Amino acid sequence: MDWLVHAELAYLLLLAGVCLVVADALSGGIGAGMLLGLACLGLAVAGLRRLATDWVAVAALVLALGLVIADLQARGVGLLALLGTADAGVAASGLFRGSADLPAWLIVATVPALGAVLVAVLGALTRARTEPAALGPASMVGLVAEVRERLAPHGTVTVRGALWQARVAGPDAAVGERVEVCAVEGLLLVVRRLPGA
């Protein structure tokens, strides 16, 4: 396992492991990302133990990632994310003592990139978990349908390529006319003629 005794590799494995574990945990399950993240963390710790590691800096780096994640969970990118990114840079620069220091270019390249990845990926995962699903009857309201069978007041329309039974609220609608879905009653769409039609 001598190949693990490289500061750059241990640092990158630590970052990758934390990101994979957090992303998989936020996605709602334990999958390949979690297993790969734990493997990265295990290899990182094995390498860190054989290097002149400052464990306070390791804890500060994990805290920095935690600040960014906490900010994303609060549905924003604000002060905590900025503090976390800055803390990650400071922690990474002091991660090793002596000749095992990380090159400055690696820190400058990875810290902003890590912040951007965390904001993009974890932000999307957080939004996906917390926003209402765009499925079900409520998602149909507001969509435009095309009349397939005259609505007088009942007939059929197509919405997103699917054929639906419909009832027009207001004047009848002719075949080929475009109408808007204004309500859903079970498997029946209530539609209205578009203005100017």
Task: Please indicate, yes or no, whether residues 84 and 145 belong to a single structural domain of this protein.
Answer: no
Task: Please indicate, yes or no, whether residues 31 and 99 belong to a single structural domain of this protein.
Answer: yes
Task: Please indicate, yes or no, whether residues 123 and 70 belong to a single structural domain of this protein.
Answer: yes
- DSSP letters, 17-47, are HHHHHHHHHHTTS--HHHHHHHHHHHHHHHH
What confidence score (pLDDT) does residue 20 get? 83
Task: Please indicate, yes or no, whether residues 124 and 144 belong to a single structural domain of this protein.
Answer: no
Task: Please indicate, yes or no, whether residues 98 and 179 belong to a single structural domain of this protein.
Answer: no
CATH code for the domain of 143: 2.40.50.140
Domain limits at 48? 2-130
Count CB-CB contacts under 10 A for residue 56: 11
Task: Please indicate, yes or no, whether residues 152 and 169 belong to a single structural domain of this protein.
Answer: yes
Q: By C-alpha distance, which of 119, 109, 117, 73 is closest to 89?
A: 109
Q: Count how many domains the chain has.
A: 2
Of the residues 130, 152, 173, the one at which a domain ends: 130
pTM of this prediction exceeds 0.85: no
Taking the C-alpha atoms of residue 134 and residue 139, their distance in angstroms, rounded to an integer, is: 5
Beta strand 154-159 with 188-193 is: unpaired
Give 10-residue mean pLDDT values along the chain (197 residues).
79 86 74 89 90 87 79 69 79 77 83 77 69 70 94 94 93 94 92 84
Task: Please indicate, yes or no, whether residues 189 and 122 belong to a single structural domain of this protein.
Answer: no
What confidence score (pLDDT) does residue 188 get? 93
Task: Please indicate, yes or no, whether residues 29 and 119 belong to a single structural domain of this protein.
Answer: yes
Q: By C-alpha distance, which of 8, 4, 2, 3 is closest to 99?
A: 8
Q: By C-alpha distance, which of 94, 74, 93, 91 is closest to 83?
A: 91
**3-class DSSP assignment, residue 191:** strand
Taking the C-alpha atoms of residue 118 and residue 72, their distance in angstroms, rounded to an integer, is: 8
What confidence score (pLDDT) does residue 77 get? 62
Residues in the chain: 197
Task: Please indicate, yes or no, whether residues 57 and 32 belong to a single structural domain of this protein.
Answer: yes
Task: Please indicate, yes or no, whether residues 114 and 73 belong to a single structural domain of this protein.
Answer: yes
Of the residues 130, 154, 183, the one at which a domain ends: 130
Contact by Cβ (8 Å): 157, 166: yes
What confidence score (pLDDT) does residue 151 get? 95
Task: Please indicate, yes or no, whether residues 164 and 111 belong to a single structural domain of this protein.
Answer: no
Task: Measure Cα distances from 96 to 5, 86, 111, 147, 153 in Å.
Answer: 12, 18, 16, 69, 76
Of the residues 102, 130, 158, the one at which a domain ends: 130
Task: Please indicate, yes or no, whether residues 84 and 155 belong to a single structural domain of this protein.
Answer: no
Contact by Cβ (8 Å): 95, 60: no
What confidence score (pLDDT) does residue 35 get? 92
